[in-house]
């Protein structure tokens, strides 16, 4: 589903309706969401200040423009106050189903089903800021690293008290100075050699099995020919004996 929401190439990534965001290298940031063991969304350190300013303006917009009935259609941008500690987010509507809508949070990459009545059309003055979530595919990575993200993922949990309310924050940190290209393909030369060796050994086993099958087939064919000749000789001898009588 997320693949239909964003487009990405070597140097740019963007969501429908938002301007392109150039991907910088080296990249330093945080993992904001994982859609699978090999697909993640990351956000640069520089994005934090951009989003703080944007959220403040979105909050002010909602304060000055009280909720009014509205309809947000598919593939349109919207804003929503959502979460256990409600904050204002920009979202892209992926689909609508009655009173619910599937949306992707363009600044984190999260996909969620939310009540349609919570959605506000995103004012045009707020769609000039590129989506801050960057989609990455951690392909060609050993399975154990795909699951654990050992090379660049560290989870930290901290509890903070603010105004008497407890708040739990989970940070998924991307290793510092990690190259953007390394996140897409992070196979070392040693890992490549080992992979090549196993692939070569696998091909050798397949070739050996095929050779054995061919040898057995030829042996069966020769045996069948010998049996046929033996039967012909027996039949010939029987005919000779009958004629001699």
Q: Cα-Cα-Cα-Cα dihedral of 177, 19, 31, 178, to 10°?
A: -10
Domain total in the chain: 2
Residues 38 and 104 placed together within one structural domain of the fold: yes
pLDDT at 192 over 60: no
pLDDT at 190 over 60: no
Q: Which tokens sit at 86?
A: 């409600």
The domain in which residue 154 lies consists of 2-186
Span 35-44, pLDDT tens digits: 766 677 778 8
d(CA 141, CA 153) in angstroms, rounded, equals 14
According to the model, what pLDDT value does residue 213 have? 92
Span 56-105, pLDDT tens digits: 898 888 888 766 656 778 888 888 888 777 788 899 888 888 889 888 88
According to the model, what pLDDT value does residue 13 have? 66
Q: Which tokens sit at 174?
A: 């991307």
Residues 181 and 212 placed together within one structural domain of the fold: no
Q: Which tokens sit at 212?
A: 């054995």
Residues 8 and 105 placed together within one structural domain of the fold: yes
Residues 162 and 57 placed together within one structural domain of the fold: yes
Give the DSSP H or E segment for 45. none
d(CA 7, CA 4) in angstroms, rounded, equals 8
Using the 3D structure, point to which of 186, 206, 229 is the last residue of a domain.
186
Q: Which tokens sit at 206?
A: 């397949």
Residues 150 and 100 placed together within one structural domain of the fold: yes
According to the model, what pLDDT value does residue 195 have? 60
Dihedral sign computed on CA atoms, order 10, 13, 19, 22 = negative
224: three-class secondary structure by DSSP: helix
According to the model, what pLDDT value does residue 216 have? 92
d(CA 137, CA 126) in angstroms, rounded, equals 28
Residues 96 and 152 placed together within one structural domain of the fold: yes
Residues 94 and 160 placed together within one structural domain of the fold: yes
According to the model, what pLDDT value does residue 212 have? 92
Q: Residue 107 maps to which CATH number?
A: 2.30.30.140
139/188: higher pLDDT = 139
């Amino acid at each position: 589903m997320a693949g239909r929401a964003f487009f990405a190439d070597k140097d740019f990534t963007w969501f429908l309706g938002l301007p392109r965001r150039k991907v910088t290298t080296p990249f330093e940031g945080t993992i904001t969401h994982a859609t699978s063991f090999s697909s993640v969304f990351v956000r640069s350190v520089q994005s934090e200040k951009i989003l703080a300013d944007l959220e403040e303006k979105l909050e002010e917009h909602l304060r000055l423009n009280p909720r009014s009935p509205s309809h947000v259609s598919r593939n349109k941008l919207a804003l929503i106050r959502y979460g256990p500690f409600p904050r204002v987010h920009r979202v892209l509507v992926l689909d609508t189903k009655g009173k619910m809508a599937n949306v992707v949070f363009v600044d984190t990459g999260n996909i969620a089903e939310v009540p349609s009545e919570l959605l506000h059309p995103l004012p045009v003055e707020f769609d000039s800021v590129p989506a801050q979530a960057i989609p990455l595919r951690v392909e060609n990575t050993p399975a154990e690293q795909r699951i654990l993200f050992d090379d660049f993922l560290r989870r930290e949990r901290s509890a903070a008290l603010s105004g008497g309310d407890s708040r739990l924050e989970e940070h998924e940190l991307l290793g510092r100075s990690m190259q953007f290209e390394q996140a897409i393909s992070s196979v070392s030369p040693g890992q490549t050699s080992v992979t090549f060796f196993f692939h070569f050994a696998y091909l050798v086993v397949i070739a050996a099995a095929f050779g054995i099958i061919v040898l057995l087939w030829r042996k069966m064919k020769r045996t069948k020919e010998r049996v046929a000749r033996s039967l012909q000789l027996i039949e010939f001898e029987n005919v000779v004996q009958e004629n001699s009588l």
